[in-house]
A = this chain, B = another copy of it.
Amino acid sequence: MDDQQLVKTMHYFFNAVLKLRQDLRQRMQKKLVERGYSDITFEMMQVLYFLRFLAQKGEANQQEIADETGKNKATLTSLITNLLKRDMIERKTNPDNRRNNIIGLSAKGHQFILDLYPDVYKTYDINKIPLSMDDILSLTNTLNTIINS
């Protein structure tokens, strides 16, 4: 396979990744609007879902959230600010390490998850995709392998 072919193959692959991310974002944003959460963005939802389903005890500091969501810590600062404005989270200083902000869901944040769960993650109809849940798990592993290579 020559370079021209390689570059095209990788270009198509990268394009597919970028488009899938965009598609995902758009579908979820649409669901949010349908459910009356038009002022909540996809990115804010990422943080809220992380706190509810993946964080230890439902709490994490900003650096941990940044690492787990693949965002920059500076990005987290503004995301957290915007989530606080909307009363979706609570922020407190960790008394054991005053460099850390401990972020957790507010009552409104919990309500949001209850309202949206699990509908949002059914954005793609599994039945219309020729993939099983195991395939999705395997696909996830493949993508993570690429990230870690």
Contact = CB atoms under 8 A, between A and B. Distances in A.
Interface of A: 1, 3-4, 6-24, 46, 49, 53-54, 68-71, 117-118, 121-126, 128-131, 133, 136-137, 139-140, 142-147, 149
Given A128-B149, A142-B139, A145-B130, A21 B11 contact: no
Given A7-B118, A53-B7, A53-B11, A18 B21 contact: yes
A130 B140 CA distance: 14
Contacts of A3: 118
Residues of A contacting B: mostly: helix
A10 B116 CA distance: 14
B121 A149 contact: no
Contact of A18 (B1, B46, B142): B46
Contacts of A126: 6
Given A18-B21, A23-B147, A129-B146, A13 B117 contact: no
Given A142-B131, A146-B124, A70 B19 contact: yes
A78 to B, nearest CB: 16
Given A3-B118, A11-B121, A17-B143, 19 more contacts: A1-B133, A6-B121, A6-B122, A6-B133, A7-B121, A10-B123, A10-B124, A11-B54, A12-B137, A13-B143, A14-B121, A16-B144, A16-B147, A17-B17, A18-B69, A19-B70, A20-B143, A23-B146, A124-B149
